[in-house]
Amino acid sequence: MSVHKKPPARARRTRLPKAERRERILEAALTAFERGGYHGTHVDDVIREADIARGTFYLYVPGKHEVFEALIDRMLGIFLEARPSTPEPEVSSVAEAEAVLRSSYHAVFETLRRHRRLCRLLFEEAVGLEQGFAERLARHYRAWHERVRATLTMFVDNGVARPTLDTELTAEMVLGMVERLSRRYLFADRAPDLDRIVDAVVAMELRGIVP
């Protein structure tokens, strides 16, 4: 007597907590944007990548603009939190200033490398897009610029950097250097030599600011 097996029941989607479901949508969106860019990616691409129903997508995110915006906000938050685990100390010598710079650059470069997928999206897609994205980037750069400028000002006040140092322009140059190095070395698939990068950056900055 033959036994007829019942066809397997259709697998039910796992019910996830709201925060975890939104996280999966954002991760799927990141993959879709990496593949097609902002303009070449549609909501359907994200839905397929996340393997969810259309209604589920719109339950968590209003649309493509908002999901891209959420990824930008996440990256900007990561940028601003990229700092050493210990508070920045006061300095009274070039050696102490060098230690502060090394610790700071290591923290920043390690963070950018760890989150390179989001970083690439930010630098390669967000720049030049619509006004709302540009305003978010501008706020981020102002905050990061102020953090760098504050450190340089502390160096000047403590006699470690020359008193005539233009901390405003120097902070801008530091940000440009970090961005360029990130594009060239940190976003590549091959792991960079972070110590080499930090050595070069710190040596250049010290030569430019010490009396």
With a pLDDT cut of 70, the percent of the chain lying above it is 85
What's the token pair of residue 3?
């036994």
Residue with tokens 């010490």: 210
pLDDT of residue 14: 56
Half-sphere exposure for 170 (CA within 13 Å, toward CB): 22
Mean pLDDT for 98-120 is 90
Question: Please, which residues have CB within 8 angstroms of residue 125's CB and are 6 or more apart in sequence?
Answer: 33, 37, 38, 68
pLDDT of residue 127: 61
Half-sphere exposure for 93 (CA within 13 Å, toward CB): 3
Read off the amino acid at residue 194.
Answer: L
CB under 8 A, 24+ apart: contacts of 118-122:
118/30, 118/71, 118/74, 118/75, 118/78, 119/75, 119/182, 119/186, 119/187, 120/34, 120/187, 121/30, 121/33, 121/34, 121/71, 121/72, 121/75, 122/72, 122/75, 122/76
Domains and CATH numbers, the chain: 18-61 (1.10.10.60), 70-209 (1.10.357.10)
Rounded distance between C-alpha atoms, residue 80 and residue 78, angstroms? 6
Question: pLDDT at residue 87 above 60?
Answer: yes
Question: pLDDT at residue 106 above 90?
Answer: yes
Each residue's pLDDT tens digit, 22-73: 889 999 999 999 888 888 999 999 999 999 999 999 999 999 988 988 888 8
pLDDT of residue 73: 83
Question: pLDDT at residue 133 above 70?
Answer: yes
Rounded distance between C-alpha atoms, residue 62 and residue 66, angstroms? 6
Q: Confidence class of residue 129 from pLDDT cuts 50, 70 and 90? A: low
Q: Confidence class of residue 3 from pLDDT cuts 50, 70 and 90? A: very low
The DSSP code for 187 is S
Q: Which whole-number Å values give the CA distances from 84 to 18, 47, 160, 187, 193, in the listed order?
A: 32, 38, 21, 21, 19
The mean pLDDT value of the chain amounts to 85
pLDDT of residue 77: 79
pLDDT of residue 119: 82
Rounded distance between C-alpha atoms, residue 165 and residue 152, angstroms? 9
- Ranked by mean pLDDT, which of 64-68, 129-133, 166-170 comes out on top? 166-170
> Higher pLDDT residue, 20 or 195?
195
